[in-house]
Amino acid sequence: HMETHYAQDRWTNHYLASLHAKSLFKGKTVDEAAVLAQEAAWHLGGTPFWVVKILEVLLGQFAADLKHAPNCIWQVYTLSYGDLEGHVCAIVREVKAGQDRVRVLQQFAAPAPGFSKPTVKPSRAPEPIPEVAPIVTEESKAKARRRSREARLKGRIEALEHLLQDKDQAGKA
């Protein structure tokens, strides 16, 4: 309906503006984007320049799903209008494979039926390991007792030395 009621130049202007704004494929599924890419290339004359621009925007829109795609998917600078359909099909195939990978990973990350998802505890100091905790506290208690005993003995020795000095001074006087 729209193609028969609107002039060719309006469609060309629409695709030019959408490509420039990089919004041609926003909100579209990969299949819708593939059809739209071929339509846009036809309306823009099918020149290699516009084929490259269309593929750049298409790859940019679905880049998150193309993380594991082969390098040849990203090599669009030598393509012509005749190569467009095959390359768009390859992009669609790789995007769907990437979406399938994400879906599988999400299924494995989801809790099993009947189990709730584990809650993340707030970050804080780790609690001591139960087997090591009594040993650590017993060691620290023993060290504290030894230090207090040493301090008491040191205090007594100083007191005795002080008494001896007083006696020596009293005997000399």
Q: Please indicate, yes or no, whether residues 95 and 138 belong to a single structural domain of this protein.
A: no
pLDDT (0 to 100) of residue 25 = 92
d(CA 88, CA 67) in angstroms, rounded, equals 17
Range of the domain at 23: 2-109
Is pLDDT of 146 > 60?
yes
Long-range pairs of 101-104 with CB within 8 A, sequence gap ≥ 24: 101/68, 102/65
pTM, whole model, 2 decimals? 0.59
Determine, yes or no, domain membership for 20.
yes
Determine, yes or no, domain membership for 168.
yes
Specify the higher pLDDT residue, 5 or 29.
Answer: 29
pLDDT band at 113 (very low <50, low <70, confident <90, very high): low
Q: Please indicate, yes or no, whether residues 77 and 135 belong to a single structural domain of this protein.
A: no
d(CA 91, CA 65) in angstroms, rounded, equals 10
Q: Please indicate, yes or no, whether residues 62 and 140 belong to a single structural domain of this protein.
A: no
Q: Please indicate, yes or no, whether residues 64 and 133 belong to a single structural domain of this protein.
A: no
Determine, yes or no, domain membership for 117.
no
Q: How many domains does the chain have?
A: 2
**For 61-92, what is each residue's pLDDT tens digit?**
999 999 999 999 999 999 999 999 999 999 99
Determine, yes or no, domain membership for 158.
yes
pLDDT band at 144 (very low <50, low <70, confident <90, very high): confident
